[in-house]
Amino acid sequence: MVNQRRFVSRGSLLILASWLSTGILHADDTVYRVDANGSHVYVRVNADGRLGHSHGIEGRVKAGQMQLGGVGQLNFDINSFVADTPAARQYVGLEGKTSGSDARKVTANMLSADVLDAAKYPTAGFAINSIKPLDNQPPGRPGRYQLDGQFTLHGVARPLKIVATAEAAKKEGWLRMRGQFTVLQTQYGIKPYTALGGLVGILDELTIYGDLFLQAESK
């Protein structure tokens, strides 16, 4: 009987160690607040190969928080999205500059009722059901994390899975987390922009980049 108890105890320890390494159990319950001033979302919009031009879009995070090894929530301010800022074009890998007037036209078309309809859908969101470490790092430490949840855009929610990388930021107690994913506009009820009888237009696929700064909240 004693030997059996020792065997069960040893097996339980092995299971516990496995759970910890895969993120099923979490030792760190720290909540990280997303810094809305320093965090950004960027979008690469590619032309369809006719007369259009590819664009870089820059937007702001409205609010958000994460528990690395737990859950989280991100909200994005659609009305903050601006086309072809120098920072956005550089971040998404586009060369050259766009005139201010052209950038304003693209921004107006993007936010209009025909595309994002920002007046009706002023926010987008990512409800994160789980955030799991992928590099056997303790939750809250630098490394890769898998984020699983529901992404809502244009009033449509769809499952989304992202692999993001966290690294130590310059400020003590802060992390910088970056990741990217692709979506099809038509899957969210958005018709890709076209003009001049289809001579000017963009592709259905968008590449979205998140660049977040996370501050550990005091317990």
Q: Would you say residue 126 has pLDDT above 50?
A: yes
Q: Would you say residue 138 has pLDDT above 80?
A: yes
Return the SS3 of 138: coil
Residue 120 has what pLDDT?
A: 97
- 165-200 pLDDT, tens digit each: 999 998 888 999 999 999 999 999 998 877 655 545
- 95-118 pLDDT, tens digit each: 988 899 999 999 999 999 999 999
Residue 49 has what pLDDT?
A: 62
Residue 217 has what pLDDT?
A: 85
- 59-106 pLDDT, tens digit each: 999 999 999 999 999 999 999 999 999 999 999 999 988 899 999 999
Beta pairing partners, 126: 74, 151
The confidence band for 134, taking pLDDT boundaries of 50, 70 and 90, is very high
Average pLDDT, the chain: 86
DSSP of 175-200, one letter per residue? EEEEEEEEEEGGGGT-PPPEEGGGTE
Residues 6+ apart with CB under 8 A from 55: 44, 45, 83, 84, 89, 94, 98, 106, 202
Q: Which domains does the chain have, with CATH numbers?
A: 26-216 (2.40.128.110)
Residue with tokens 């992928």: 134
Beta pairing partners, 208: 43, 181
Q: Would you say residue 153 has pLDDT above 80?
A: yes
Question: Mean pLDDT over residues 119-139, rounded?
Answer: 96
Distance of CA 29 to the CA centre of its chain: 21
Tokens for 140, please give them.
């809250």
Tokens for 217, please give them.
């909240």
Could you give the angle at the alpha carbon of 165 between the alpha carbons of 57 and 70, nearest 5°?
105
37 phi/psi in degrees, rounded to 5: -75, -35
Among residues 102, 81, 80, 98, the alpha carbon closest in space to that of 89 is found at 98
Residue 200 has what pLDDT?
A: 59
Write down the pTM of the prediction: 0.83
